[in-house]
């Protein structure tokens, strides 16, 4: 799409959204729309392309062919976000003037187009035929490439297979190329204010490498990522869907939760199974402490709280069940811990019956209270599992 066509499309969209005449919409768009030179400044320079080519020429047997580089968000996405922000500003002022006719309206200040994320596409050298195993070689160079380019965050991601309509299928690893995501920003994938593109990049650069390292699986694929909290939430919570193509036992994932929490430097990691083989859902929070009652005033959720907490508590219960069952046969486990494994079995027994009901009912009845009852006991089991001898010695005669 040419710059002229893009501008016409954005003007028509603004006229429809804000009810402005063509001349007003055109003038406003021309004031905030960045120039072509400004947009191109976020593409890879010839010098940067040469550094990539030199690196791959040394580190790989077949140097990949450069395709294109682009910034995220794209200009079209940025202009759409600006328009939505202006519509919201206009609506806020309209409501404020209804409540207070003397309300002073502050002018709308559009943001500048300054994308912080750059993506580059590469195809495998001489890839007339698909190379389904080639991605692993380039993924293994992720850390070296980050050091070579001197960027704060970098991730190597697959380009997926395409369907019959030519659209990329997310969650697959194609055989024709890969992408490099890079940024000079050190973004957080859990923070409520991180935008969607930077959240995905941060997850690829920080969460996925840890997951691959702990489970020793290079082929793990990020399928979907989303913030479960609103921008105004004081506590963070993200949902990350990951595909294990070769599969893994759910119990293995539960075993690794303490290591994941420690390595990622977060307060809480929980995981749930799905009906799809090899697909698991991780819940990650940097502030949320699952061993304490959740304050729903601080945890402001995008979905109905009962629905979100149902997902989280179910994942939490699975982990607590696993802890109880894992420790029940240990000969040195103090007697007081053994009784908490009974609660774990009750959770398991009640799980299917209770979750067949309305989510509001779940939170107000015995399932929720089971969790509250075992919270203290499982916390102590958790400490026992961590090997805090002086803590345990008090309870062993």
State residue 295's pLDDT score: 72
Instruction: Say if residue 25 is in the same domain as residue 122.
Output: no
Instruction: Say if residue 120 is in the same domain as residue 9.
Output: no
Within a domain: 362: yes
Within a domain: 393: yes
State residue 5's pLDDT score: 73
Instruction: Say if residue 137 is in the same domain as residue 28.
Output: no
Domain boundary among 129, 153, 186: 186
Instruction: Say if residue 81 is in the same domain as residue 166.
Output: no
Mean pLDDT is lowest, of 39-43, 82-86, 229-233, for 39-43
Instruction: Say if residue 28 is in the same domain as residue 56.
Output: no
User: How far apart, in whole angstroms, are the C-alpha atoms of residue 57 and residue 53?
Assistant: 6
Q: If you average pLDDT over residues 234-243, what whole number do you get?
A: 91
Nearest to 113 by CA among 21, 27, 38: 38
Instruction: Say if residue 364 is in the same domain as residue 393.
Output: yes
Q: Quick check: 354 pLDDT over 50?
A: no
Which H helix or E strand runs over 173? Answer: none
Nearest to 285 by CA among 251, 242, 316, 310: 316
Instruction: Say if residue 94 is in the same domain as residue 173.
Output: no
Instruction: Say if residue 52 is in the same domain as residue 101.
Output: no
CATH of the domain at 120: 3.30.980.40
| Bridge pairing between strands 279-285 and 221-227 | unpaired
Kindly state the percentage of the chain with pLDDT values over 70: 77
State residue 204's pLDDT score: 93
Q: What is the pLDDT of residues 261-313, one digit of tens each?
A: 989 999 889 999 998 888 999 999 887 766 566 677 788 888 887 778 778 87
Q: What is the pLDDT of residues 108-135, one digit of tens each?
A: 888 888 888 999 999 886 656 778 778 8
Instruction: Say if residue 59 is in the same domain as residue 79.
Output: no
Residue 148: pLDDT band with limits 50, 70, 90: confident
* Residue 348: domain span: 320-397
Query: Is residue 97 within 8 Å of 91, Cβ to Cβ?
Result: no
Within a domain: 277: no
Which H helix or E strand runs over 131? Answer: none
Q: If you average pLDDT over residues 145-159, what whole number do you get?
A: 89
The edge-to-edge listing of strands for the beta sheet with 279-285 is 221-227, 238-243, 279-285, 268-273
Within a domain: 228: no
Residue 62 vs residue 325, higher pLDDT: 62
Question: Considering its fold, how many domains does the chain have in total?
Answer: 3
Mean pLDDT is lowest, of 203-207, 308-312, 364-368, for 364-368
State residue 183's pLDDT score: 92
Within a domain: 160: yes
Within a domain: 331: yes
Mark 274-301 as b/e (b = at least 16 C-beta within 10 Å). eeeeebbbbbbbbbbebeeebeeeebbb
Instruction: Say if residue 51 is in the same domain as residue 182.
Output: yes
Instruction: Say if residue 179 is in the same domain as residue 89.
Output: no
Domain boundary among 62, 97, 112: 112
State residue 189's pLDDT score: 92
Instruction: Say if residue 336 is in the same domain as residue 365.
Output: yes
The answer to whether the Cα torsion of 170, 173, 179, 180 is positive or negative is: positive
């Amino acid at each position: 799409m040419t710059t002229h066509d893009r501008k016409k499309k954005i003007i028509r969209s603004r006229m429809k959204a804000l009810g402005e005449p063509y001349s007003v919409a055109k003038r406003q768009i021309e004031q905030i729309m960045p120039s072509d030179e400004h947009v191109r400044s976020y593409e890879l320079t010839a010098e940067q392309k040469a550094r990539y080519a030199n690196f791959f020429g040394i580190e790989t047997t077949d140097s990949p062919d450069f395709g294109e580089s682009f910034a995220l968000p794209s200009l079209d996405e940025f202009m759409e976000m600006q328009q939505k922000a202006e519509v919201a500003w206009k609506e806020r002022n309209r409501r404020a003037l209804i409540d207070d006719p003397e309300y002073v309206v502050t002018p709308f200040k559009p943001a500048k187009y300054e994308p912080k994320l750059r993506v580059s596409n590469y195809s495998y050298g001489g890839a007339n035929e698909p190379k389904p195993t080639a991605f692993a070689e380039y993924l293994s160079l992720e850390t070296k490439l980050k050091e070579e380019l001197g960027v704060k965050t970098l991730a190597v991601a697959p380009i997926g297979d395409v369907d019959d309509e030519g659209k990329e299928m997310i969650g697959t690893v194609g055989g024709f190329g890969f992408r490099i995501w890079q940024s000079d920003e050190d973004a957080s994938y859990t923070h409520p204010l991180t935008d969607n593109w930077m959240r995905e990049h941060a997850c690829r650069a920080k969460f996925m490498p840890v997951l691959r390292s702990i489970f020793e699986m290079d082929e793990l694929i990020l399928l979907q990522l989303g913030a479960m909290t609103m921008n105004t939430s004081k506590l963070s919570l993200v949902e990350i869907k990951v595909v294990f193509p070769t599969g893994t036992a759910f119990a293995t994932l539960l075993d690794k939760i303490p290591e994941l929490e420690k390595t990622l430097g977060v307060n809480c990691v929980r995981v749930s199974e799905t009906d799809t083989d090899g697909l698991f859902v991780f819940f990650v929070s940097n502030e949320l402490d699952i061993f304490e009652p959740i304050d729903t005033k601080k945890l402001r959720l995008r979905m109905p709280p009962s629905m979100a907490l149902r997902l989280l508590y179910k994942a939490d219960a699975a982990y607590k069940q696993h802890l109880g069952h894992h420790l029940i046969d240990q000969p040195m486990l103090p007697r007081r811990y053994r009784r908490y494994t009974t609660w774990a079995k009750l959770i398991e027994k009640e799980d299917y019956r209770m979750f067949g009901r309305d989510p509001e009912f779940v939170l107000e009845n015995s399932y929720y209270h089971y969790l509250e009852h075992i919270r203290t006991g499982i916390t102590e089991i958790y400490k026992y599992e961590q090997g805090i001898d002086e803590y345990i010695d008090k309870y062993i005669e």
